Amino acid sequence: MSVIEVNSLTKDYGSGRGVFDVTFQVEKGEVFGFLGPNGAGKSTTIRHLMGFSKPQSGQTKIFGKDTFDKYFEILGNVGYIPGEIALPAGLTGWEFIRMMQHLQKCRNDEQLNYLLKIFELDPSGETKRMSLGVKRKLAVVTAFMSDPDVLILDEPTSGLDPVMQEVFIEFIRKEKERGKTILLSSHIFSEVDATCDRIAIIKDGKIVSDFIADDLKHASQKNYEIGFTDRENYDRFMKDSRNSAIVKIIGNDAKNKTVMIATDDKYINQVIAGLSEYSIGNFSHLKETLEDYFMSYYKEDKNFGGALQ
């Protein structure tokens, strides 16, 4: 049984907004990255997973329990950082921490002091006067202070400075080593790259890609750039490759006489043999990073998703 399950979750807000048939699972000890452009449906999915909204259809489960029906049974073992921090007015940071400990039915001062130290948080001030970053730190500390087994984090580092983002990444790595199950939504590629085992990309309310992070690094389909010495060779290659079964043209620049191609490793000998028919000035491997792959989903007119498509 997976620790986190989202099964065919649908919530239609009308006009194409919402989430549609979203399905994914997160296994015990896994860090799952949930990526997608603004308005893609990350927070909507996460709010359902936290049991705050009832799905129109489909189901969300944690530890095999329906999160909407069994909200109070799972709450104690799930840490949550909301995408937008709204702290109750008229409280100091300490009062907020005590209130949350009461709700979580757990007071673990050792863990709390450890978190206050590593995130350099002084919770003595009033919450309404706290800067965005300090509010975020308070949300991070309260999410982790009961040492829950499952963490649902909606853009947890937004508002944190780069040093604190690093501290956070290091902390997540240690939590993973301790066997925690973590769902992390993010726009920050380096953070996802450094922490996540598996990644799903959501766009317009639908999961468009779900893959193992290492697979992207070891994908057998690769991109290359070929620079031709003159226009005649460039034009001939473009024409010859148009319907090729082994090479896909993914970009071209007539002015610079360069063509970007994608091919699978198993065809590379054929591709290189074929290129000997042309006069070539340079040939290079274009490294596909997670960032490139993700960016291809940000662009509206996406027609090539890269190595894993």
Contact residues for Mg ion, defined by CB under 5 A = 42-43, 83
Taking CB within 5 to 8 Å according to partner kind, which of Mg ion, ligand ATP, none is near residue 145? none
**Residue 62 or 201: which CB sits closer to ligand ATP?**
201
d(CA 18, CA 45): 9
Nearest to 146 by CA among 187, 177, 115: 115
**Residue 34 or 293: which CB sits closer to Mg ion?**
34
**Residue 9 or 271: which CB sits closer to Mg ion?**
9
Q: Which of 2, 25, 43, 101 binds ligand ATP (CB under 6 A)?
A: 43
Does residue 38 bind ligand ATP (CB under 6 A)? yes
Give the range of 41-49, 128-136, 209-217, 279-287 binding ligand ATP by CB under 6 A: 41-49
Q: Which of 36, 51, 148, 306 binds ligand ATP (CB under 6 A)?
A: 36
**Residue 187 or 302: which CB sits closer to Mg ion?**
187
d(CA 99, CA 3): 27
**Residue 38 or 276: which CB sits closer to ligand ATP?**
38
Handedness of CA 30, 288, 202, 305 (dihedral sign): negative
Taking CB within 5 to 8 Å according to partner kind, which of ligand ATP, Mg ion, none is near residue 18? ligand ATP
Taking CB within 5 to 8 Å according to partner kind, which of ligand ATP, Mg ion, none is near residue 36? ligand ATP
Binding to ligand ATP in span 44-63, by CB under 6 A: 44
Structure-block tokens of residue 102 = 């009461």
Structure-block tokens of residue 206 = 């639908």
**38-42: long-range contacts (C-beta < 8 A, 24 or more apart)?**
40/202, 40/203, 40/204, 40/205, 41/202, 41/204, 41/205, 41/206, 42/83, 42/154, 42/155, 42/185, 42/202
d(CA 223, CA 22): 30
* Cβ-Cβ contacts under 8 Å for 215 (sequence gap 6 or more): 308
Q: Which residues of 158-188 are buried (b: 16+ CB within 10 A; e: fewer)?
A: bbbeeebbebbbebbeebbeeebbbbbbbbb
- Shortest Cβ distance from residue 81 to Mg ion (Å)? 11
- Shortest Cβ distance from residue 244 to ligand ATP (Å)? 38
Give the range of 12-20, 71-79, 217-225, 286-294 binding ligand ATP by CB under 6 A: 12-20
Handedness of CA 3, 7, 13, 15 (dihedral sign): positive
The two most distant CA atoms of the chain are separated, in Å, by 76
- Amino acid letter for position 1: M
* CA distances, 110 to each of 117, 144, 147, 284 (Å): 11, 12, 10, 54
Q: Which of 3, 31, 42, 97 binds ligand ATP (CB under 6 A)?
A: 42
- Shortest Cβ distance from residue 196 to ligand ATP (Å)? 17
**Residue 211 or 298: which CB sits closer to ligand ATP?**
298
Q: Which of 33, 41, 79, 156 binds ligand ATP (CB under 6 A)?
A: 41
Binding to ligand ATP in span 70-99, by CB under 6 A: 83
- Pairing between β-strand 248-253 and β-strand 258-264 as defined by DSSP bridges: antiparallel
Binding residues with ligand ATP: total (CB under 6 A): 12
**Residue 40 or 261: which CB sits closer to Mg ion?**
40
**Residue 38 or 269: which CB sits closer to ligand ATP?**
38
Q: Which residues bind ligand ATP (CB under 6 A)?
A: 13, 17-18, 36, 38-44, 83
